[in-house]
């Protein structure tokens, strides 16, 4: 039985097959409408979510399956002190597959060890968010046509942003990648990531100003400052509006640069950018449904 904890759990070839399946789903949804009839997805969310939980639920419903679960730790037995290991043993009696989000790094992995059903990490603290990465990769592959030979700028909270950590991990396996990390000093990318890039001889730069680097980018990945992971509110308030991408700054960007954002956005992208054809973050959310449909089929080993 396979789980998904980290984007590296799939080989590059397996990811290619997953994305081919997601594109086929995009082009022919009716073909998949009953693929998961009789199957149940449990969404166990111990942390807030809109897109991830609802896109998982939409994915399972689109496949003809059903969903059950909780969206708040206080409405589950976690509030009574139950461990994730016990909870997943119970969920395994009720559902065929589980998507779990948890504020503690590694909690979905602990659950997977005791689980009778595939567990998908839907975000664990500031650590990893593999299904957002699958969404990001599918968006880039579908709209740029390839995942190699790209210069990608990641901007904002590179310290706490789990989507950033997962995406760099995944992209570091493709040829010709170059990373530009754009953040204030306090929110720099963790050392373990730059060490990994150096060990693999992958070029990267760390800068503070966004405008200077825009002309070089194929992809700009904007992120929200992760309020919930700060220890003190003053630091958050000081840093939260450090970057605001607006129409004026977009004038520095190449005509074919894509702007991605895992969402939710707070102030880091002005709404006047939304109509720019290079702003693809809402399309990205749609790709999130196709890729989660493909993932559910793959982990349940269903071939429609
Ligand atoms: C992200 C997350 O939860 O890490 N959201 C999402 O799943 N699309 C990004 C964020 O919350 O900033």
CATH code for position 151 = 3.40.50.1370
**Is the same domain home to 58 and 182?**
no
**Is the same domain home to 210 and 138?**
yes
Grouping H, G, I as helix, E, B as strand and the rest as coil, residue 96 is: coil
Q: Which residue's CA is the closest to the ligand 1 atom numbered 11?
A: 264
- Number of the ligand 1 atom closest to the C-alpha atom of 161: 4
| pLDDT at res. 78 | 81
Grouping H, G, I as helix, E, B as strand and the rest as coil, residue 9 is: helix
**Is the same domain home to 139 and 176?**
yes
Indicate whether this model's pTM tops 0.75: yes
Question: What is the residue-averaged pLDDT of the chain?
Answer: 96
**Is the same domain home to 66 and 168?**
no
Residue 225 belongs to some domain of the structure: yes
Rounded (10°) angle between helices 51-62 and 281-299? 50
Average pLDDT over every residue of 159-166: 95
Residue 67 belongs to some domain of the structure: yes
Q: For this structure, is 159 an active site residue?
A: no
Q: For this structure, is 104 an active site residue?
A: no
Q: How far is CA 81 from the centre of its chain?
A: 29
Residue 304 belongs to some domain of the structure: no
Q: For this structure, is 144 an active site residue?
A: no
- pLDDT tens digits, one per residue of 73-104: 887 888 788 899 999 999 999 999 999 999 99
Q: How far is the CA of 265 from the centre of ligand 1 (A)?
A: 9
Q: Tell me which of 51, 123, 240, 282 to substitute to probe ligand 1's pocket, judged by most ligand atoms within 8 Å of the beta carbon.
A: 123
**Is the same domain home to 232 and 142?**
yes
Q: Which residue's CA is the closest to the ligand 1 atom numbered 6?
A: 262
DSSP 166-191: HHHHHHTTSTT-EEEEE--GGGPPPH
Q: Distances in Å between the alpha carbon of 175 and those of 19, 151, 185, 228, 304?
A: 18, 11, 29, 35, 33
Q: How far is the CA of 245 from the centre of ligand 1 (A)?
A: 18
Average pLDDT over every residue of 63-75: 93
Q: Could you tell me the residue range of the domain that residue 240 belongs to?
A: 131-284
Q: How far is the CA of 38 from the centre of ligand 1 (A)?
A: 30
Q: Is 223 exposed, middle or buried (0-12, 13-18, 19+ CB in 10 A)?
A: buried
| pLDDT at res. 296 | 98
**Is the same domain home to 124 and 31?**
yes
Residue identified by tokens 């990945």 is: 221
**Is the same domain home to 138 and 269?**
yes
Q: For this structure, is 51 an active site residue?
A: yes
Q: How far is the CA of 180 from the centre of ligand 1 (A)?
A: 20
Catalytic residue (one of 39, 40, 43, 52): 52
How many domains is the chain partitioned into structurally? 2
Residue 2 belongs to some domain of the structure: no
| pLDDT at res. 74 | 84
Residue 1 belongs to some domain of the structure: no
Residue 266 belongs to some domain of the structure: yes
**Is the same domain home to 136 and 280?**
yes
Residue 258 belongs to some domain of the structure: yes
| pLDDT at res. 187 | 96
Residue 82 belongs to some domain of the structure: yes
**Is the same domain home to 75 and 109?**
yes
| pLDDT at res. 81 | 86
**Is the same domain home to 143 and 257?**
yes
Q: Does the pLDDT at position 285 exceed 90?
A: yes
**Is the same domain home to 257 and 291?**
no
Residue 72 binned pLDDT confidence (cut-offs 50, 70, 90): confident
Q: How far is the CA of 30 from the centre of ligand 1 (A)?
A: 29
Average pLDDT over every residue of 106-134: 97
Q: Which residue's CA is the closest to the ligand 1 atom numbered 8?
A: 262
Residues 6+ apart with CB under 8 A from 190: 158, 159, 165
Are 227 and 188 contacting, i.e. CB atoms less than 8 angstroms apart? no
| pLDDT at res. 226 | 92
Neighbours of 174 (CB within 10 A): 16
Q: Which residue's CA is the closest to the ligand 1 atom numbered 7?
A: 52
- pLDDT tens digits, one per residue of 173-192: 999 999 999 999 999 999 99
Ligand 1 neighbours, Cβ below 6 Å, are 51-52, 123, 129, 132, 162-163, 224, 262-263
**Is the same domain home to 102 and 15?**
yes
């Amino acid at each position: 039985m396979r789980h998904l904890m980290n984007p590296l759990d799939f080989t590059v070839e397996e990811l290619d097959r997953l994305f081919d399946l997601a594109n086929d789903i995009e082009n022919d949804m009716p073909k998949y409408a009953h693929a998961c009839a009789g199957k149940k997805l449990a969404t166990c969310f111990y942390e807030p979510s809109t897109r991830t939980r609802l896109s998982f639920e939409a994915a399972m419903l689109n496949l003809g399956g059903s969903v059950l679960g909780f969206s708040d730790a206080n409405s589950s037995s976690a509030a009574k002190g139950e461990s994730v290991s016990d909870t997943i043993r119970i969920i395994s009696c009720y559902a065929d597959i589980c998507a779990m989000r948890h504020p503690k790094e590694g909690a979905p992995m602990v659950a997977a060890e005791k689980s009778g059903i595939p567990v998908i990490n839907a975000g664990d603290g500031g650590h990893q968010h593999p299904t957002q990465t699958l969404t990001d990769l599918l968006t880039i592959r579908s709209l740029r046509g390839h995942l190699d030979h790209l210069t990608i700028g990641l901007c904002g909270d590179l310290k706490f942003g789990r989507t950033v950590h997962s995406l760099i991990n995944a992209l570091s396996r493709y040829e010709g990648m170059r990373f530009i990390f754009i953040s204030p000093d306090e929110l720099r990318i963790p050392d373990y990531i730059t060490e990994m890039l150096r060990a693999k001889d992958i070029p990267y730069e760390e800068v503070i100003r966004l405008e200077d680097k825009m002309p070089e980018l194929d992809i700009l990945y904007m992120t929200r400052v992760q309020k919930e992971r700060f220890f003190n509110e003053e630091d958050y308030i000081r840093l939260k509006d450090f970057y605001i991408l607006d129409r004026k700054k977009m004038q520095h960007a190449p005509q074919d640069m894509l702007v991605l954002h895992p969402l939710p956005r707070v102030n880091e992208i002005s709404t006047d950018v939304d109509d720019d054809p290079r702003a693809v973050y809402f399309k990205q959310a749609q790709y999130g449904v196709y890729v989660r449909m493909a993932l559910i089929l793959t982990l349940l080993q269903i071939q429609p």
